[in-house]
Structure 1
Amino acid sequence: MLKMFGLKKCSTCQKAMGYLDEKRKAYHFSDVKEDELSKDQVAKWSKALGGWEKMINRAGYTWRGLPKAETENLTEAKAVTLALKNPSLIRRPLIEHKDGSVTVGFSEKVRGFIG
C-alpha cells in the first residue's frame, strides 16, 4: 500500500488522492500538520530523495515567511529539524512507494511510477 503525506487542503494532494481512487490504488493518507512526524522518518525521506533540497519547498509561503537566520546555511540535519518544526515545508504530496522509494509532487513521471 502506498503511503501519502501532505495536507488535506492541498489541491495537489486532493488531485493525487482522486487519481488513486479512480485507479483503485490502495493508499493511506497522513496530514503532516495533524499526524506527528518523527525525525527518523523525515531524515529517511530526505536521504531517499537525494537530499533536503528535493524535499523542502523553497518557493512556498512557509519558506518565505521564515526568518533568514533559519533558512541560511542549511545542512541536512538543520533542514530535517526545520521540516519537523514547519511540516508544510515538505513538498506535497510525498509518497512512500511499495518498493521503498519516495517521490514528491504529482507529475506525469510520478503517475507513471504508480501505474
Structure 2
Amino acid sequence: MNTSKWLPKQHQEVIKLFEQSRQLERELRILGKKFATDINIDLPDYYEFERLLQQSRECFERSAHVQTRLIRMSASSADKNVERSFFKILLNRKAHLIRQNLRKRNFQLIFIINKMVGAMQV
C-alpha cells in the first residue's frame, strides 16, 4: 500500500518514518544478498567481511530506532488515550506491519551472518 496516497499531507513525519523503514528494509535485504554472494567461504576476505559486518551493525541500530518509533505509533486500540478513528486504526495497522517486516529482515540477516561465521570456522 502506497502510504503517501492515503495519508494526509500534514503528517509528514509519519510519511518520513514509513519511507525510512522501507529504505531500511531494502538495505537489510541487500546486505543479506551481499553476505550470501560476495563472501567466498573457502578463501574469505576478512576486510570485506568486517566492512559488511559494520554496515550491518549500523543498519541494526537504525532499525532499532525506527522500530521504537513504530511501536510508539502503533498503540493498541485497548489503550485509553488512543483515538478510535478510522485513520488512527489504519496508521496502527500499517506501523505494525512495517515493524513485523523490519524484524523479519533483521532475523534473516542475523541468520545469514550466523551461517557464514559457522561455515568459516569449519
The structure with the larger Rg is: 2
Q: TM-score, normalised by structure 2?
A: 0.28
Structure with the higher fraction of residues in helix conformation: 2
